[in-house]
Amino acid sequence: MRLTLWRKQATSTAGASLLLALVVLVTAGVFTAWPRWQESVVVDDLRYRVEQAPMTWRSLTTEHHGGPLTHQEEQDFLEGLVGVHENENAVVPALLSEAVTAVRWMAVPPTPPPYQLPERHPLHAAQTAAVAVVDIGIEQDIRLMDGDVPGAAPLLQWYEQIEEERRRLEDTAPDPFTDLEGYQEHLEEIADPEAFRAWSEEVGYHAEIMISAETAEVLELDAGDIHEVPTTGGFPLGSVRVTDQPLLLRISGVFEPLDPDGPTWQHQPRLASPHLHDDPDMGLQLEWWGVTEAETAFWIESMLTRPGDGIIPLRFTTSVWIPLDVDVDSLAEAAELSTAIREFTLATHRLDLGEDASPHDVPFELDFESRLDGVLSETLAIGPSLGAVLAMISAGPLGVAIAVLALGCRMAVTRRERSLALSSARGASPGQLRVRLALEGLVIALPAAAAGAALATAALPGAVMSGHYLGAAAVALAPALFLGTASLPSLRERRADLGRGWGGVARRWGEVMVLALAAAAVYLVISRGVDGAGATDGTDPVAAASPLLVALAVCVVLLRLAPLPLLALHRLQARGRSLPGFLGSGRAVRTGRDFFVPVLAIVIGVAITVLSTVMTSTLRAGVSTGAEDAVGADIRVQTHRLDSDHHEALLGVDGVDQVVFVSHASRERTADGELLPVFYADTAILTEVQSAFASAEDLAELNQSVDGRVPAVAAAGEGLSGELEMNVGAGLPVTVTSTVSALPGIADSGRWILIDRETAEHVAGEPVPVPGIALISVVDGADTEAVAEQVESIVGSGQVLHQEGQRASFLESPSGAAMLVGFGIAVAVCAALTVLALVLTLALSAPGRSQTMSLVRVLGGHPRLGGPIVLWEVMPMVVMALLTGTLLGLGLPHLVASGVDLRPFTGTTAQPDLVYDWPMVASAAGGAILVILLCVALGATLARRTAPATTLRMGEAR
């Protein structure tokens, strides 16, 4: 019977229960999805930054000073170290082992002396160097276009026969000395040039080498061709050498890379394409690489670089690289992988070759290094900052959501006050009623919260962590708490708006605690910033809760001060002749306490809107500043050499306004022996190119020497001032006239000076170094990206950056995009919760308002008085909340900027300044105000529909 009665009473207000369940479902879903989305953003940002890093950074690399790894034990040892197969030497955790895609190595001999190509060749004037490398795993990375992979040189078979004959004579001859002497005479007879020519044709005197298609095109060679390379060491023939004999390289095959961007070609780019550059001191230089067989490589190296006898593998350098494919699903995995890489690179890995070692074998010790650890650590460091900003934004809506749930629970109790009062009158104790209400709250909220959390988990797949569901758990338990602690109704009628006051002892202590917690949170955020543990252990709770605590504190102060202006307004209306103003302001004074939740919602909603607007403009301005600092102009070019032809070609590009070349001498020596980096540029043009920058310096005055001394700008804070004597040419006396923190696009840290190019050349009496940097400004209205593409086609190799691309790379990164999206989501959620809070508040105060309106109607008042009365009742608190929220929103960015490092999101070297874009702030705040006013206007319109006959009842509150 009791269960049946309970069920009937619980379902008697199905509308309120469904509304409460819907609010719980949506709120639990949003606050489950938010931390999962936040973590996925950090993981996506980590993957993005890893992909943006050069391929050479994403590998474990080392160099072994010794010949090719001809021992199987060495190759097994390398693979076993990183867990490619079962091996007792494996020292890495499974996470690092799973990231290993391959273990590769390449043996490279010293660069041989240069030679010249045949006179008919277009590059005959170039100083050419041929490097024969060994890479036994290259077949998996290439596609043979012609020919075959290189085999052992035919001559090596003859070597083996000679060695076998020598060993036989030593072991079996009765007079080894005499027989070996004859053997030596035989070799010397073959070393005669004419005899050697005949003998080499019979044996096959050439080495096989495989080259890339680009190399074959530059050298004008095809598969099967013989390429002749002069030698300095001579041809090694046993214990003698045949001098003045060229090395004949037979092109065994021509290949092209399967993936030109793959790790092999990033680690060894000259194997895919020859390196051609014009050295200002040495002239035109050409270096090409080819792949050969291991034993043949020893022979080639011996001929090209060593006049003595014997084969010494120590002259080779074996480069080992282990590409890593980073695919982590959580920040914890990223931190574990970073730790594993760090521990692996700090250890020295040794292999004892044991009895198989030969006298020429080098102790096999490897010290690996990798810059991937730095990329992972840098991205993990961004996690707390990103998490703190998003958590600060989300904490406000979470608090409002809990408050809205409190309103919903209060409405559910109000709708059932009759049945609850009857239950109390029939003997139900307050404890029984509260337990029943709390159980109803659990029955309503738990399934709804579970459904919302499940939908959010399904929508955002990924690692499941308990911290993701804390918000949903709070939302699920909140209705039971609010219903179980609600004020129980009574059959004794009383006016709901009288005798309640603005607070009691418990409320005063609660307000004091809120103010104390808010002050402590602000102090901690400003003094210590964001806790770094938030990257892996969850978001810093103090930083996350600080905006909500500040908003609560502001609302506490506002509601404590609100009665003063409300009473003043009511007294003013009492002296006037406006009935709606008098009645509405009177109800505002009596029911002001009921407006805590809508006031909190309005304050947080407007504050989050203004905060999001300010932070968005700050991030965009910071990204623009970071792009200016990195590029230094509209377009920046960095390559190995720029000359006058490049300058004329760049000026001829449609859309280019000014071009300035910058030279960099990294080790200019002063008279005191200090090595100082020096930059040379046409400072007048440089000033024009950077004139639009906020951080631009006027450098035009540097192009005039004063008393024979060259003025210079130096790095600030590095102790560079006064006069310097540079050992450049005939002497370069320099006077530091000013210091700056950085030169956009040129220098940002360390010790350096900038000198005008022409002034330095005139005083020193010799040309400055060849420029390698070009800063280019474009005319207004030109398509910077299109101009950059033309510039890239002119300079060829090198790096071409432009500001629009730099800005896009930051704003389109997962972390940058998430910040902007997160701001938008927070604003939308706050707007929805604010509207819902106002609707519920107006609905809760509707009975008392209806009684007042019914009396007014009975006394002859017009029905249209309902709307103005609602406006006078609601608008004073709404206006105060709007003003308070706007001021709070203007102040919260300072809290965020004081505790959160925003530099990773902007690319600047310093914390970006807050930017208040007042038109945007006014538009955002105006939009929030418009939504709130429309909601109030709708409530005022509905208040006109009061029916006096159905509202007035004897004995009910008036």
Nearest in space to 339 (alpha carbons), one of 386, 367, 380: 380
The 3-class SS string of 500-540 reads CCCCCHHHHHHHHHHHHHHHHHHHHHHHHCCCCCHHHHCCC
Mean pLDDT of 667-671: 68
Most trustworthy range by pLDDT among 91-105, 878-892, 893-907? 878-892
| Cα distance between residue 903 and residue 385, in whole Å | 10
Angle, to 10 degrees, between the axis of helix 541-561 and the axis of helix 866-899?
140
Residue 519, C-beta contacts closer than 8 angstroms, at least 6 positions apart: 553
pLDDT at 955: 44
Q: How many CB atoms lie within 10 A of CB 442?
A: 16
Mean pLDDT of 234-246: 64
Strands (E), 115-246: 127-133, 142-147, 207-212, 226-229, 235-237, 240-242
| Whether the predicted pLDDT of 939 surpasses 70 | no
pLDDT tens, position by position, 63-75 = 877 666 665 666 6
Cα torsion at 786, 787, 788, 789 (round to 10°)?
A: 50
Q: Judge whether 144 and 253 are in contact, CB under 8 Å.
A: yes
**540: number of CA atoms within 13 Å, CB side?**
24
| Cα distance between residue 388 and residue 381, in whole Å | 12
pLDDT at 254: 92
pLDDT tens, position by position, 639-654 = 877 888 888 888 888 8
| Cα distance between residue 117 and residue 227, in whole Å | 10
pLDDT tens, position by position, 128-157 = 888 888 877 788 888 898 888 887 766 666
| Whether the predicted pLDDT of 337 surpasses 80 | yes
Residue 171, C-beta contacts closer than 8 angstroms, at least 6 positions apart: none
| Cα distance between residue 514 and residue 552, in whole Å | 7
| Cα distance between residue 420 and residue 433, in whole Å | 8
pLDDT tens, position by position, 858-887 = 665 666 666 677 777 777 888 888 888 889
Residue 396, C-beta contacts closer than 8 angstroms, at least 6 positions apart: 547, 548, 551, 604, 607, 608, 826, 830
| Cα distance between residue 761 and residue 561, in whole Å | 73
Could you tell me how far CA 95 lies from the centroid of its own chain? 22
pLDDT band at 210 (very low <50, low <70, confident <90, very high): very high
Mean pLDDT of 214-230: 86
pLDDT tens, position by position, 903-928 = 877 777 778 888 888 888 888 778 77
Q: At 270, list the tokens.
A: 């000259």
| Whether the predicted pLDDT of 622 surpasses 70 | yes
- Determine the Cα angle at 876 with ends 874 and 881, to 5°: 95
pLDDT tens, position by position, 31-77 = 888 888 887 888 888 888 888 788 788 888 888 776 666 656 666 67
Nearest in space to 312 (alpha carbons), one of 361, 380, 367, 256: 361
- Work out whether the CA dihedral 242, 244, 245, 249 comes out positive or negative: positive
| Cα distance between residue 861 and residue 598, in whole Å | 29
Q: Which of 160-164, 378-382, 663-667, 897-901 has the lowest mean pLDDT?
A: 160-164
For every residue of 178-198, DSSP letters joined together read HHHHHHHHHHHHHTSHHHHHH
Q: Kindly state the DSSP code that residue 115 receives in the 8-state scheme.
A: B
pLDDT at 177: 40
Look at residue 745 and give its three-state secondary structure: coil
Kindly state the percentage of the chain with pLDDT values over 70: 73
| Cα distance between residue 193 and residue 693, in whole Å | 71
Kindly state the percentage of the chain with pLDDT values over 90: 1
| Cα distance between residue 533 and residue 543, in whole Å | 12
pLDDT tens, position by position, 404-418 = 888 788 777 777 777
Beta 656-669 vs 675-681: how paired, if at all? antiparallel
pLDDT at 848: 62
Q: At 766, list the tokens.
A: 């010799």
Q: How many CB atoms lie within 10 A of CB 776?
A: 27
Beta 710-715 vs 732-740: how paired, if at all? parallel
Look at residue 665 and give its three-state secondary structure: strand
pLDDT tens, position by position, 165-205 = 656 655 555 444 444 455 566 666 666 666 666 666 666 66
Q: At 569, list the tokens.
A: 């307004």
Cα torsion at 783, 742, 651, 282 (round to 10°)?
A: -130
Nearest in space to 199 (alpha carbons), one of 228, 162, 150: 162
Computed over every residue of the chain, the mean pLDDT equals 75
| Cα distance between residue 266 and residue 317, in whole Å | 18
Looking up tokens 């060593």 gives 306
Strands (E), 23-151: 59-64, 104-108, 127-133, 142-147
| Whether the predicted pLDDT of 12 surpasses 60 | no
Count, in order, helices (H) and strands (E) of the chain: 32, 23
User: Letter for the amino acid at 641?
Assistant: R
Q: How far apart are the first and last CA of the chain?
A: 37
pLDDT tens, position by position, 522-556 = 888 888 776 654 444 456 778 778 888 888 888 88
pLDDT tens, position by position, 436-461 = 888 888 888 888 989 988 998 888 88
Q: Judge whether 268 and 142 are in contact, CB under 8 Å.
A: no
| Cα distance between residue 692 and residue 305, in whole Å | 55
Dmax over Cα atoms in the chain, in whole Å? 145
| Whether the predicted pLDDT of 615 surpasses 70 | yes
Q: Which of 180-194, 508-522, 557-571, 611-625 has the lowest mean pLDDT?
A: 180-194
The 3-class SS string of 612-659 reads HHHHHHHHHHHHHHHHHHHHCCCEEEECCCCCHHHHHHHHCCCCEEEE
Q: Judge whether 713 and 697 are in contact, CB under 8 Å.
A: yes
Beta 142-147 vs 275-279: how paired, if at all? unpaired
pLDDT tens, position by position, 482-524 = 888 777 665 555 555 554 544 567 777 878 888 888 888 888 8
| Cα distance between residue 118 and residue 924, in whole Å | 73
pLDDT tens, position by position, 782-807 = 888 888 888 888 887 678 888 888 88
Looking up tokens 């004999």 gives 245
pLDDT at 874: 76
Q: Judge whether 252 and 147 are in contact, CB under 8 Å.
A: yes
pLDDT tens, position by position, 678-701 = 888 888 888 888 887 766 677 777
pLDDT at 360: 47
Exposure string for 559-579, b = 16+ CB within 10 A, e = fewer: beebbeebeebbeebeeeeeb
pLDDT at 179: 47
Q: Which of 265-274, 329-338, 516-525 has the lowest mean pLDDT?
A: 329-338
| Cα distance between residue 206 and residue 153, in whole Å | 6
